[in-house]
Amino acid sequence: MQENINPSWKTQMLLIGSVAGAVVGAGTAYLLARSAEKSKGGPPEISTKDLLSTGIAIIGVIRGIAALGDGK
């Protein structure tokens, strides 16, 4: 029988994950804007191919993180 020491662990995990995701997203947007400004001086031009490959990579990372909870 597993005894939960902290019954609100799910809420804490969701809050921490949300804050971490927001920080990573803001940092990524900052880096994208900074590199586009240095190279072109304006907004970035992102191709559909780049978006699809990035999306697939992100899905792979999310699946890897979700697998951490399996305990295998």
pTM: 0.71
For residue range 1-17, what is the model confidence (pLDDT) as tens digits?
Answer: 466 677 788 899 999 99
Confidence at residue 41, expressed as pLDDT on a 0 to 100 scale: 84
pLDDT score, position 45? 87
Under DSSP, the state recorded for 33 is H
CA dihedral 6→7→13→14, nearest 10 degrees, is -150
Q: How confident is the model over 17-72, as pLDDT tens digits?
A: 999 999 999 999 999 999 999 988 888 888 999 999 999 999 999 999 889 888 76
Residue 2: what pLDDT? 60
DSSP H helix total and E strand total for the chain = 2, 0
